Structure 1
Amino acid sequence: MGSISTRRLAKELRELSLECPTGIKILSANDFHTWRLSIEVMGDSLYQGQVFALQFIFDAQYPIASPEVTFVSDEHYKAPIHPHVYSNGHICASILGTEWSPILSVAAVCVTMQSMLASCKKLERPPDNDRYVRHAPKSPKNTRFVYDDDTV
């Protein structure tokens, strides 16, 4: 991992350890490659009372390049049913792709995911979920998502 990436992740982890945004908790961050954080949507929403886990995978290009971010599905967590979240956990969100900026952080991504879930009006998968999941690359960073709907 590059020294810029390591320094940045050390700073972000220190800040998150001291004070996470409301509804966000560190589940694991034992190295500078893979972190897991839980997110809970605060307030009245379709996801009230549910907790989800996000996995962040960082490479040496972080923060210049976005991390790989997916919702986790395992024995403790399930990916939310949402028009921008595929059943394999891949997320179609412009801030993880074309709108990524090095000023964004792990906390900012988590808060954005909370906001995305909070604004959801209908529990449904993306219309192409089955086809996408069948042919999806392992990393969502290898997908060229089309960001055409920011209303959910």
Structure 2
Amino acid sequence: MGFGKPSTEAFPLPSRSPISQEVRMSTPARNRLMRDFKRVQHDPPAGISGAPHDNDIMLWNAVIFGPEDSPWDGGTFKLTLQFKEDYPNRPPTVRFVSRMFHPNVYADGSICLDILQNQWSPIYDVAAILTSIQSLLCDPNPSSPANSEAARMFSENKREYNRRVRYVVEHSWSAD
């Protein structure tokens, strides 16, 4: 019996399912997302949390807590971030999973935010994206509305707008 190359029959190789290969695949986007994940874990900005979904570094679940001393205070808002292989050169697709009432959030949860569109830069990471969205909660842009009712109410009847926001906050902890 020689000590040559071991037979694959004696030492079966692990199966190479598309999912396991995808998890192991190293690309610039995946490497960057690992750095982003480490930063969010080791130095998390106040009021945000995020992590990859199961074994898919390209899909993240995140939570933003409503900023203190604002109508959003006490709320917890779930989001998903879907990255493509062109990240960080292109922004991820970010959506609220939680029901929202905000001038810059569409009915499907998509967010109208300049850094997720025409003002994107590769210097933005996951922490910067989530922090910007958290800031947007208190500082909406009603001139670029995704929700015209919320934009009108924010501009014309702040008291009613804040009442609607508090309703969203009260229900943000329940299952969606």
Count the aligned residue pairs.
123
What is the aligned partner in structure 2 of residue 44 from structure 1? 69
**What is the aligned-residue RMSD (CA, Å)?**
2.5
**Gaps (5+ residues) in structure 1?**
73-77, 130-152
Using a 3 Å threshold, how does the CA distance of structure 1 residues 103 and 27 change in structure 2: closer, same or farther? closer
- Report whether the alignment pairs 1:90 with 2:113: no
> Could you tell me the TM-score, scaled by structure 2's length?
0.63
- With normalisation by structure 1, the TM-score equals 0.72
Answering whether residue 106 of structure 2 is matched by residue 106 of structure 1, we say: no
How many Å apart are 1:28 and its aligned residue? 4.7
Q: 1:27 to 1:64 in 2, by over 3 A?
A: closer
Pick closer, same or farther for the CA change 1:102–1:125 going to 2, 3 Å.
Answer: closer
The structure 1 segments of at least 4 consecutive aligned residues displaced by more than 4 Å after TM superposition are: none
Larger Rg: 2
> Identical aligned pairs, as a percentage?
33
1:95-137 CA-to-partner distances (Å, cap 9, x unmatched) read 1110100000111011011111022599x971289xxxxxxxx
The separation in 2 between residues aligned to 1:68 and 1:17, in whole angstroms, is 21
Structure 1 residue 19 displacement after superposition? 2.3
- The SS at the match of 1:69 is strand
CA deviations on 1:45-104 (whole Å, 9 max, x unpaired) are: 1111011012100110000011011111xxxxx232100101210111111110100000
In terms of fraction of residues, the more helix-rich structure is 2
Distance 1:86 1:29, change over 3 A: same
